[in-house]
A and B are shown apart, each in its own frame.
Chain A
Amino acid sequence: MHLRSQPIEFVLFLCASFSVVILLLMLLFVVMEGSLAFTRLGTQLILGQMWKTNSDLYGGFPLIYGSLMVVSGALLISIPLGICTSIFIAEILPFQLRDPIKSVIELLASIPSVIYGFIGVTFLAPLIASIFGLQSGATAFTASLILAIMVLPTIVGVSGETISAVPIEYKEAALALGASKWQTIRNVILPLSKSGMLASVMLGFGRAIGETVAVLMVAGNVAMVPTPPWNYLAPVYPVTAVIAMQMGEAAVGSLEYSALFGLGLILFIITFAVNTIADVIVRRRPVGRSVQL
């Protein structure tokens, strides 16, 4: 028995280590390709204000700012929307309707991102242009809206899970003590699933900051920090869009090529940090602690 199971265990081990090895190799590759940019440009790659390929200027600040701006805009929209939706589905919606509604929201995740881009370009951008009286609807706000819809399934899915993970006894106890439905949600369910919700937001962040195609189509692509910096109705040029736009053209081994990898590495680090934080938060299981009503 033991002898026969060993090869299978080995195969399973190979499969499991495959993704880890790939991750390490990718990290190594990105670091190696980007190292030229980091040694030649230094902090200029992160803090430089000018991104001009023609004159070999690679200042990534407007691009990184653009990415963070679009993503925070998206989260500002999708966090309240997503968490309210998940509470509604888990607690208020009649039991029979929960699964159909959940799968409809999950369907949002299966729509290819180009389709979001199309809708953004042909419908949302003109709409926003006419509402705000803009020349063009390709702005940070449009990109944020599209991204908000794209990360919604992640937020609703993960925070929905944590809400359903709250033990039924807690809810029953609260209701038996005379708490109303809203009091139960506010004082029992929300505190218990807080960390899960935070994790869902972090996962949504990771999804949003890495999104390329839809953002490239609607963000407007101007490599400048908007004036004033909080002006969401101005175009931005997120990092992923720059990389997708210029990678095919950059000569292998050139400074441009390396700078693009450097930007990729910065994105990688941001996403990695956020995902790790999310992971740590999820691991701190909330259920089982006492609740103060």
Chain B
Amino acid sequence: MNGGEKVNRERSHGSIQTSRAIIVMTLLFIVGFASGYYTDTLFSSQTVVWKEDVAWRTESISISGSTTVLPIANACAIAFMNKYPGTSITVTGGGSGRGYSEVIDGVVDIGMASRPPKQKEINDAKEKGVALWLYPIALDAVCVVVHPSVNKTLKLTLQEVGKIFAGIYTRWSDVDPSLPDEPIYVVVREPGSGTRGTFEEYVMEPYGYDVTDAAHVRPSNPAVRTTIETTPYSIGYVGLGFVTSKMVVVALAEEEGEPYIYPSIENIASFKYPISRYLYLVTSTRPESGSLADRFIDFILSPEGQEIVEEQGFLKLPRYPAGV
């Protein structure tokens, strides 16, 4: 009994020492912070800078959305952060649908989209009391691509492509007797993808087609690219920046009898290629002038940013955008 009490007393003694240590540490912390703050104000008072010019230099923004726009935004973010150390820009994918929904919900500052907003998304924005601002930042084309095993030069009309993706043609020989007598391996993107949205708007919806059940769903442009590269007799669609030499780009014609057009730079810029589109950055309100979001968008639209757009395999805006 006695021994136990003794131990008890010793322990409580120990705890007093601990609490003293904690108090001392807290005091040290406070003093440290205070002195840091003091010296900080001391130094900054010596250099005169405009107030609105410093705020954005330490801000951080997040961007999410279309995986087509992702490489552009990512490369621009890296270039921007190298130019202005102290800023922080986080870029994640997820698809155009996610870009719009997260901008509307205020989860991210800027969304990326490879299609204009759907009516549903516009309504959602209205309900939340925000207005979507779209900034076209680049030109792109949805390229229909096939594995080289199909043919080295393939020409199709939009309706033929639609029939392939709708599962009306199931073998390549159904499309044209000169093509191999092999089943068509159809690769599509997940619902909500901007690339899928654009593709279906031009190729499926005008003919009332619906994507076949037998289509293989892939979650991103790179995943479609890998699948097309490695799967014989496959067909899929990717953004222009994701075309590689291991796949064959299909020349498309609006209708039978019209010229077959490849997604070359001139053809996309002149909108001759049937599935040409703009890529967008989206904000939920007009970003405050001088804020980081505002400056980042300006950066992508600047000659320097448009250079990066080209490096990533997309097309600069046809004319320097004055109206946006």
Contacts and interface: CB of A to CB of B under 8 A. Distances in A.
B62 to A, nearest CB: 15
Interface string A216-238: 11001111100000000001010
Given A135-B231, A136-B231, A251 B124 contact: yes
B183 interface: yes
A286 to B, nearest CB: 43
A222 B182 CA distance: 19
Given A246-B191, A249-B190, A135 B217 contact: no
A135 B185 contact: yes
Contacts of A52: 210-211, 213
Nearest to A49: B213
Given A136-B185, A138-B227, A222 B211 contact: no
Nearest to B65: A248
Chain A interface SS verdict (over half) = loop
A21 to B, nearest CB: 26
Interface residues of B, number: 36
B230 A221 contact: no
Interface in A139-176: none
Given A126-B230, A138-B227, A251-B124, A50 B213 contact: yes
Interface in B187-236: 190-193, 200, 210-211, 213-219, 223, 226-227, 230-234
A20 B231 CA distance: 47
Contact of B98 (A50, A125, A249): A249
A54 interface: yes
A222 B216 contact: yes
Given A54-B210, A249-B191, A251-B124, A136 B219 contact: no
Given A220-B216, A249-B97, 14 more contacts: A52-B211, A55-B210, A135-B231, A135-B232, A221-B218, A222-B213, A222-B216, A224-B213, A248-B95, A248-B97, A249-B193, A251-B97, A251-B101, A251-B120
6 contacts: A52-B213, A53-B192, A138-B216, A223-B217, A244-B219, A251-B121
Interface of B: 4, 8, 94-95, 97-98, 101, 105, 120-121, 124, 182-183, 185, 190-193, 200, 210-211, 213-219, 223, 226-227, 230-234
Question: Which 8 A-B residue pairs are closest in the complex by CB-CB distance?
Answer: A249-B192, A249-B97, A53-B191, A221-B217, A248-B98, A136-B231, A248-B94, A245-B190
Interface of A: 1, 50, 52-55, 121, 125-126, 135-136, 138, 216-217, 220-224, 235, 237, 244-246, 248-252, 256
